[in-house]
Amino acid sequence: MFKSLLQCSGLLLCLILLSLNSHTLLAQAAEPPTESTPEIQAKAILKAAIDNWRGMSSYSEMTMRIHRPDWERSVSMRGWTRGDKDSLVRVTAPKKDIGTGTLTLDKGMWTFSPKVNRVIKVPSSMMNQSWMGSDFSNKDISKADEIVHSYSHKLTAIHEQDGHKVYEIEAIPHEDAAVVWGKQVIRVRDDHVMLSEAFYDQDGILVKRMDTLEIQELDGRPVATRQRMLDIEEEDHWTEIILHTVDFNIELADSVFTLSNLRNPRD
């Protein structure tokens, strides 16, 4: 689920958001009622996080580093999110990519490229292609709360780390869920910072993993500020997202999440 959150837009953005809300969450998730089964607990942890995050808005600035054995490139971006559905990401550097943007609304996803001066709706055939050349797919970016509804969850372990409780949740997709993975294993800290998310294939082999490398206090909350998506099967292939600033619960006009704003920025 965290993953989905992430995906929802400025993936990381969402993540971050999640982690922020910790206070209320803690109350609900960290102390699950004793009579509930591990399955329910696990789902509650995820659901509480999402519910809490829903309706929130954010503005952030970040850098994405795409690393390959023979090259590396950085893209700076600004992102806006609202709720778990709406998001807008726009590139601010390097120069040749300035203005390139991605907008996700309820069910659709659009990209804008100044070079062709066209807004393109991302068709299903491209959903699995890489998002701006990174290790994230378009689907990763656009799918929101899938991990709560399309998976069954199990709380497999709780342990202590750096003075925090860490929940390890195993999520297995439902039979007809549009998910290729055999299972996902998510580690969440009790203050709702996601520590890692691992993607396993249907033979139980690890395919890719997202790790949180740095956690900082931003806008008054602990936030995962550096996260790395690692392709396990290709040596030295990863994408890192580094969060520089973030503002939560800000007022965002409806006009932010529109196709015309995607094409003609007004900020």
Partner 1 sequence: MNISLLSQLAWRNLWRNHRRTFIMLSAITIGVWAMIFMTALMRGMVDQMVENGLNTFTGHIQIHHENYLDDPAINNSLPYPGPELIAELNNSPAWTTRVRVPAVVNSERESRGVMLMGIESEKEKALSFLADSIVEGRYLKAEKEKGVLIGKKLAEKLETELGKRIVIMSQDPDNNIVDVGVRIVGIYQAELRATEEQFIFLDQGYTQKILGIKNQISEIETREENFRDLAARKTVIESKLEQNQKIQDWRHLNKLLAATLGMMDGFVLIWMLVVFIALSFGLVNTLIMAVFERTREFGLMLSLGMKPRLILSQVLFESLFLLVLGLTLGTGLAWLAIKPMESGIDISVVAEGMAKMGVGATLYPSLETRDILTANLIVILLGVSASFLPAFKASRLKPIEAMNVN
Q: Which residues bind partner 1 (CB under 8 A)?
A: 107-108, 121, 123-125, 127-129, 173-182, 199, 201-202, 207, 233
Name the minimum Å distance from CB 221 to partner 1. 33
**Which residue, 96 or 121, is less far from partner 1 as judged by CB?**
121
**Which residue, 75 or 185, is less far from partner 1 as judged by CB?**
185
**Which residue, 164 or 183, is less far from partner 1 as judged by CB?**
183
Closest CA to 131 of 87, 181, 174: 87
Do 84 and 17 meet the contact criterion of CB atoms below 8 Å apart? no
**Which residue, 8 or 223, is less far from partner 1 as judged by CB?**
8
Name the minimum Å distance from CB 48 to partner 1. 26
Do 116 and 108 meet the contact criterion of CB atoms below 8 Å apart? no
Name the minimum Å distance from CB 119 to partner 1. 14
Name the minimum Å distance from CB 203 to partner 1. 8
**Which residue, 201 or 219, is less far from partner 1 as judged by CB?**
201
Name the minimum Å distance from CB 168 to partner 1. 21
- 3-state secondary structure (DSSP) of residue 246: strand
Strand partners, 206: 200
Name the minimum Å distance from CB 211 to partner 1. 19
Name the minimum Å distance from CB 124 to partner 1. 4
Closest CA to 97 of 111, 109, 80, 81: 111
Closest CA to 253 of 95, 90, 88: 88
String of DSSP letters for 120-188: EEPPGGGTTSBSTTSSSBHHHHH--THHHHSEEEEEEEEEEETTEEEEEEEEEE-TT-S---SEEEEEE
Do 110 and 117 meet the contact criterion of CB atoms below 8 Å apart? no
The two beta strands, 206-218 and 221-231, are antiparallel
Strand partners, 166: 159, 189
Q: In angstroms, rounded to a whole number, what is the distance separating the alpha carbons of residues 198 and 186?
A: 6
**Which residue, 182 or 265, is less far from partner 1 as judged by CB?**
182
**Which residue, 94 or 108, is less far from partner 1 as judged by CB?**
108
Closest CA to 3 of 235, 195, 222: 195
Name the minimum Å distance from CB 1 to partner 1. 17
**Which residue, 4 or 19, is less far from partner 1 as judged by CB?**
4
